[in-house]
A and B are shown apart, each in its own frame.
Chain A
Amino acid sequence: MASVVTGAQNKRPNPNSTSAAATREGDQLIITPLGAGNEVGRSCVYMSYKGKTVLFDCGIHPAYSGVAALPYFDEIDPSTIDVLLITHFHLDHAASLPYFLEKTNFRGRVFMTHSTKAIYRLLLSDYVKVSKVSVEDMLYDENDIVRSMDKIEVIDFHQTLEVNGIRFWCYTAGHVLGAAMFMVDIAGVRVLYTGDYSREEDRHLRAAEVPQFTPDICIIESTYGVQLHQPRPVREKRFTDVIHSTISQGGRVLIPAFALGRAQELLLILDEYWENHPELHNIPIYYASPLAKRCMAVYQTYINAMNDRIRTQFANSNPFDFKHISPLKSIENFDDVGPSVVMASPSGLQSGLSRQLFDKWCADKKNACVIPGYVVEGTLAKTIINEPKEVTLMNGLVAPLNMQVHYISFSAHADCAQTCGFLKELMPPHIVLVHGEANEMGRLKQKLVSQFADSNTKLYTPKNCQSVTMHFSSEKMAKVIGKLAEKVPETGESVSGLVVKKGFTYQIMAPDDLRVFSQLSTANVTQRITVPYTGAFEVIKYRLKQIYESVESPPVEETEVPTLIVHERVTIRHESDTYVVMQWSADPISDMVSDSVVAMILNIGREGPKVTPIEEKTQEEMERMARKVVHSLMVSLFGDAKFGEDGRLVITVDADVARLDIKSGEVECENQGLRERIKTAFGRMQGAIRPIPKP
């Protein structure tokens, strides 16, 4: 029995304490950057609303190694996260994913676009291979990456998915192939996370789309702060002019670039330029990145994620089948005999092929080095932008820096104008800036504050682990359907029915309609029990009448055997001389009635036949007894209680006097508090005296 009681309690925790608090908390939307708050790198933004939790991106910080490079995962409980969304494949957005999937208790679902997933695999394998850290410092290995692939699910642009009531879909972000901006909709509150985005269409990517719906919150990158990009044609012309003039003077051009992303764009520019300049056809272009070569298949396949220009070209030939560019495996295979253009990684000239070539070419003033993107502080690439007289080679020797150095940025991040324009079109009421150095971010914030001065827009620039909290009033709308909706209720009329909540939509319906409008169904539990009983059936009837107000016995002709119906709930049939059969449809009251009936019948059996005189209690007697019981209970509760002259119960507590009408339950009292208490107490007593409502 004890187990039953606890079971019941577990099912119904006290709603006053827990759920009310939980609901109020649920209206709070919390955004916490675990990385990329006032910094660039290890993008990871945590968001929680109405008990649903979403994590955007899962990157590492390229400047640190080992656990230090991870976002602050300790701040959250990974097991509570429902959905993890990865915007694109860059290391600072995706590289801690294998760690998060394999080494934490994260149990949610993770999504990225098709092309991101394909490149993610290659890029991270390469990252694991080239990162030179001790085994203990390794966050994960190749096997973890392969295992993580099975857990990653794919989403296509604009495809709407729903997980646990969280609806989300993604838009083109224009940063790299497969880069996405995620829109998340939880209970009608929309949050847009841009990731890295660019509003400028380039050779192969579409510009970031402007979502159809205004989000309530926009979490946006601020990498370039208030800087402005040069117009694209100008940059492209500078780029090709530098290369053309260098090679026409017999020099060599080195382009240190990260293997994926911008490199493909530059290759497209070069291939096109060569195509249009037949005189250059004898000058070779190499791209020296085995990784990029492996990824080329991905670029050649996911053409549909790119812009119309590429797709138009695709009708004729695959634009990523370069005609004038050949791959280069290593410096040993490189036949350095005359002018050439070489694109090599890494972009920072720290080591590897790009550094080897740099060392070889830096002393000749005919040569040129074109740095095509964002360079990280502390790398050689950053140093040579300032054009020092001498540089230190890898072998430790010092050599003069005679080669020309050009910095032409093709970085596909939004600049200030794009960000302002984008936000102006969207006009989100809340803007959260992430992914930018503190200074740049601060300047952008100032700029945006002045731009949105006359609107109600709120701007936030949280640091890592600093939470931003917003409140959204939750107006819950429900749809009443089916039989319940046949008549629209007037004010004051009651509406009772089943509320079915799916995701964040509510439907109210009659139990009969449950099967029609949902996958659920209602059921009845019919219980039949056979109780051994050898006595006379009349005895049962008599006993029952003593306990219950309503005991019917329909004529035998209708039921074949003698039958009793208690409160129109429980049927007792005397089917044989040795037993009776009880049948009822389970619900709390019927169960209770039937339990008592069973106990009673068993007791009759045990006590043996015992004749008791029939003693019909009149209604009056019943009333009198009820009065007595109420009186004595009131005395035990309030002390001084006696019947007044008008038949009402007069209760005196200290100076307050209350009069209770036992028939109607009305209380007359000056003291509000006392009146309520007496009313409640009386209600409970009534419930105890007449537990079974008359059907």
Chain B
Amino acid sequence: MWVRALLCFSKTLSPPPPSPSNFSLRQVPLFSIQKKKKQVPLSLSLSLSRGGMGTSVQVTPLSGVYGENPLCYLVAIDGFNLLMDCGWNDLFDPSLLQPLSRVAKSIDAVLISHPDILHLGALPYARKHFGLSAPVYATEPVYRLGLLTMYDHYLSRRQISDFDMFTLDDIDAAFQNVIRLKYSQNYHLSENGEGIVIAPHVAGHLLGGTIWKITKDGEDVVYAVDFNHRKERHLNGTVLESFVRPAVLITDAYNALNNQVYKRQRDQEFIDAILRVLRADGTVLLPVDTAGRVLELILILEQYWAQQHLSFPIFFLTNVASSTVEYVKSFLEWMSDSIAKSFEHTRDNAFLLKYVTLIINKSDLENYAGVPKVVLTSMASLEVGFSHDIFVELATDAKNIVLFTERGQFGTLARMLQVDPPPKAVKVTMSKRVPLVGDELKAYEEEQEKIKKEEAVKKASIVKVEEVRATSSHLSESTKGDSMVIDPASATASPKGSSHFRGQMDILIDGFTPPSTSVAPMFPFFENTAEWDDFGEVINPDDYVIQEEDSNHMVVNGKSLDVKPDEASVHLLLDSTPSKVVSHELTVQVKCALLYMDFEGRSDGRSVKSIISHVAPLKLVLVHGSAEATEHLKMHCAKHVCPHVYAPQIEETIDVTSDLCAYKVQLSEKLMSNVLFRKMVENEILWMDSVAEKTNEKVLTLLPPPSAPPTHKSVLVGDLKLADFKQYLSTKGVQVEFAGGALKCGEHITVRKISDSSQKVTYTQNSMTAAVSFSCILIDDLCCLQSGWDWSSTDCY
């Protein structure tokens, strides 16, 4: 014992040689800037924040707190406004977007986490009506599947109403400025977002689903909603647990009160429920989303059908079904490891579907009217779309079943049917778009004609004004083109539109307005400067090519994006035959079976709690969940995770700026060349004594201390697991066993672990003699295991 003790001593005693300290003194101004910021002039506050710490973070929910409304939150990081998700609900209720409309213009970037309406539905509308013009960041699948989801919703709405919140062009425009990222790609924002790095990470739940990690000055803000830690058929589990100790975690309380059954059991029940109905000649209706959870359901069905060699037909019916699956096939790198592996080995693409038939028209189902079948179709809400129509047809027959795989959104038909007990009958509105006939058609045509004329004339004049302006300013340059050729639009419009137009505007000829710069109206003069070569005038062969006006072509051209919706949508798009919507209400007797099973692919309450406590954020913000769930999770986390748990109301701004102090120092070569780190899991650690020195303007340098530093209290680092320790001891030939929560080593020694805020390990030795020396070994072993025992005061010699 003495030997050991002395050995420790000799180390603490040997004094380090005095080191020269000829550096000049300096100090860095590093202090909390947050409070000062308001008082000091701007320039000063900037320099302070650069040198110092404390990235300011504010969170303002715009929608989706204390309830299940769409998700939309504003996160301001040092004045840079990030919009986390931009969701809407299936009913497209504009009143939900009021808070967004007030801040839309000030937003600098939009980060989207999942490709469904609740996370990105409001993008086109906000862009069109609120002037939301910031770049949007999303993963490739979120972008692609989100776009298809929007198409599907638009087309479904359009079929039964004069839906005018946004158009297909608005959707395209909104998605055009999406910047697509890969998982764990660190994207450095520029301009006023300088210094902010955003990175998407795997969230599970939906294909491409994202947890956003936003980093500034080494502080992480993690936005993780709707994640799923379970690995599924087509998706990997979330990597949220690998983010430890972020400054702020924003997460949802959606599932805080729900617990799930085992996956295998649930899958079996799901299949059993379906087969029972099919074998009794019934039809199974699965109202699903367009391109999200449905993928998992398709794989479950495919797999089971293949195993059991079943022949019941399965249909996947959305407006964009075939495009969806075609794209999903090319997203293998975003899916689970097992899917990637099977492709690498056998080149079998999991989404090369063998049993599921993709259809985009409800009429395709007519051939299978009486046949037992499974139909997966959008919308999950049953409000509109194919699912709505098919539900009305199926509901009256007790043989059939409507199997919900997700909770219906609030206020939708699906939600109404999910209550217990289900309603006996529901009122639905059946709407249909029918072509106009007779007088209506005539009236419509006349009106259209009038509008067209006006528009053409207006457009022509605008075009001309611009053209003239352009040419007049460039008159000196030789314009090669055909500026004398009258714009075709104005040419066709002029004979009809001239009469009522002439009176209104002070112009001489249709389609011509004097340039604003000219004093008096004059005809523009354009010099015809055709180029000539040895063979005569130079022509452009393209001018003489006869353009093929095929419909397909036009769509592709007309749409600026590289996505072609399926034919149905093309028809609808091009469908210029005037039509109107006819609706009638009817009451449907709900006789068919109704069943809800949770295939939402979100972590359940218990897992959410354990994940949050593992992540252990310094500050936690809870959003999106019913009031009870939010309160429940808030209480839980405040008790077990961290004291700073916030659950703000809509438009309530909370400041989650971290209040920790920090400053930067340079570790001098002299100091670091003589130290020895000890490995601890992923970290290396040591105790350091040093002396601060200011070498130049900003840098504070740490040098080895000139004299022996005062002794400090020893620090034992590491988390000892008694089970590991037991194993370790038994390899050393020590008899160990657990008794009453403590580890009994031999007869005399007990090791007990007391976990409180500062961890404690207690040894109790009850009797004496041999036990003493033994205990020393024991403790030393313990130290070896933990390897963080810091024997001496400093590692500098």
Contact = CB atoms under 8 A, between A and B. Distances in A.
Please determine whether chains A and B interact with each other in the same assembly. Answer: yes
Interface stretch (B24-32, B92-100, B166-174, B481-489): B24-32
Contacts of A23: 672-673
Contacts of B564: 315-316
B555 to A, nearest CB: 10
B327 to A, nearest CB: 8
Interface stretch (B339-347, B397-405, B594-602, B735-743): B339-347
A598 B688 CA distance: 33
A475 to B, nearest CB: 6
B15 A683 contact: yes
B542 interface: no
B777 to A, nearest CB: 7
Nearest to B332: A301
Interface stretch (B117-125, B311-319, B780-788): B780-788
A591 B8 CA distance: 10
Interface in A472-501: 474-483, 485-486, 488-501
Interface stretch (A149-157, A231-239, A391-399, A628-636): A149-157
A494 B711 CA distance: 13
A547 interface: no
A595 B2 contact: yes
Contacts of B332: 114, 301-302
B46 interface: no
Given A478-B667, A482-B661, A588-B9, A494 B709 contact: yes
Contacts of B669: 474
Given A302-B333, A598-B772, A495 B673 contact: no
Interface string B613-640: 0000010000000000000000000000
B231 interface: no
B664 A479 contact: yes
Contacts, number: 350
Contacts of B767: 530, 532
Given A302-B330, A480-B663, A691-B9, A519 B689 contact: no
B340 to A, nearest CB: 7
Contacts of A481: 660-662
Contact of B797 (A15, A474, A687): A15
Interface stretch (A194-202, A509-517, A643-651): A509-517
B716 A12 contact: no
Nearest to B666: A477
B574 interface: no
Interface string B698-717: 00101001000111111111
B715 A498 contact: yes
A316 B714 CA distance: 69
B25 A492 contact: yes
B185 interface: yes
B538 interface: no
B683 A500 contact: yes
Contacts of A506: 667
Contact of A599 (B1, B184, B689, B759): B1
Contacts of B522: none
Interface magnitude class on chain A: 35 or more
A446 interface: no
B779 A586 contact: yes
A476 B666 contact: yes
B662 A496 contact: no
Interface string B268-290: 00000000000000000000000
Contacts of A149: 344-345
Given A491-B694, A522-B716, A478 B664 contact: yes
A523 B691 contact: no
Contacts of A514: 717
Secondary structure of the A contact surface, majority rule: mixed
Contacts of A591: 4-5, 8, 776, 779
Given A490-B692, A501-B684, A602-B768, A482 B660 contact: yes
A488 B27 contact: yes
A8 to B, nearest CB: 6
A521 interface: yes
B27 A491 contact: yes
Given A161-B184, A481-B661, A117 B344 contact: yes
Contacts of A502: 682-684
Contact of A501 (B182, B685, B709, B765): B685
Interface string A235-249: 000000000000000
B507 interface: no
A99 B682 CA distance: 30
A492 B344 contact: no
A496 B760 contact: no
Given A526-B760, A532-B767, A586-B716, A160 B184 contact: yes
Contact of B718 (A13, A499, A523): A523
B717 A498 contact: yes
Given A8-B8, A477-B666, A501-B683, 19 more contacts: A12-B676, A19-B676, A20-B674, A156-B333, A160-B185, A161-B184, A476-B667, A477-B667, A480-B664, A485-B663, A492-B21, A494-B689, A499-B687, A523-B717, A525-B762, A527-B763, A592-B9, A595-B5, A687-B12
17 contacts: A11-B791, A19-B675, A24-B673, A149-B344, A156-B182, A159-B183, A169-B185, A480-B662, A483-B661, A501-B685, A502-B683, A508-B688, A520-B788, A527-B765, A588-B9, A588-B714, A693-B710
Listed from nearest, the 7 A-B pairs whose CB atoms lie closest are A491-B25, A592-B5, A587-B714, A687-B13, A588-B8, A485-B661, A158-B185
